[in-house]
Amino acid sequence: MNQWHVWLHPLAASELDALPPDLRARFWHIVELVEAFGPMEIGMPHIRPLESKLWEMRMQGRDGNARAIYFADTGRRLMVLHVFTKKTRKTPRAALETARRRKEELE
């Protein structure tokens, strides 16, 4: 069975470390699900599409909401580009721009 692997952009790893412990735990729980079953089998409420091959992991906890924007790279690898605390209903444009810029750097 071909397993999926989740990788973090170095800046996204730092952003993840800055999240409260309960949101970090939710992130790692979603990563375990994705690596075991693949992103297409998970879906809402954990994963949802954003735009142009960008997707988001949705974390909710006692300390609020957070999101991790990622894309599917070659070879069953997901690259997490940006992790941030969610404060509004819509994903902030700045968060999408940060993810796009980091994706371009990797390509």
> Which tens digits make up the pLDDT trace of 73-103?
878 889 999 999 988 888 889 999 999 999 9
In the chain, the number of structural domains is: 1
Query: Is-above-0.85 flag for pTM?
Result: yes
Strands 77-86 and 54-61: unpaired
CATH of the domain at 19: 3.30.2310.20
Q: How many CB atoms lie within 10 A of CB 89?
A: 5
d(CA 61, CA 65): 6
Domain boundaries, position 64: 5-106
Detail the DSSP E strand segments found in 9-96.
47-51, 54-61, 64-73, 77-86
